[in-house]
Amino acid sequence: AAQAEAKQTANSSSSNSSKDSSSTTAPSSSPSSSNSSGFIKPSGGYSTSSYGYRIHPITGVNKLHGGIDFGGGGPIVAAQSGTVVFAGYHSSWGYYVKIDHGNGLQTLYAHMVAGSLLVSPGQHVSQGQQIGTMGTTGSSTGVHLHFEVYVNGSRVDPANYL
């Protein structure tokens, strides 16, 4: 899985963000309390597509949708504190951020507005800190956040953490 991530990052036209690293928090529309997993919802949006197999809306192929999509626009916040491992561009995910939370747990936030990334690789982020804004960059059919959770390098259903 680490090799796939490295290959994916190598194949992307990555451009790491060098935005100001000041702490920005989301407006009160985003949840501020965590559940038993310690996560908070990464946006104030509504769920538009869940984790699991589906007909891909662009390719028409039945394949795993490896995350949860939230529609509605607005800020994206870190679901849990951690260290940013990637902040840049990928042809499928568009502008995205990946955060390492330790103990083999990582989260990914994709399709952000160009120029909206508020974090950089190596930066520590706090739970609830705004990391970007929902957009439609990459392979996307509309403004949304694509949110993934990885355990030891493998994607798992994010609903179990929210």
Q: Walk along the chain (162 residues) and give the pLDDT tens digit of each residue.
A: 333 343 333 333 333 333 333 333 333 344 455 667 899 999 998 898 888 888 787 888 888 788 999 998 999 999 999 999 999 999 999 999 999 999 999 999 999 999 999 999 999 999 999 999 999 999 898 899 999 999 999 999 999 999
DSSP 160: G
User: What pLDDT score was predicted for residue 34?
Assistant: 65
User: What pLDDT score was predicted for residue 2?
Assistant: 38
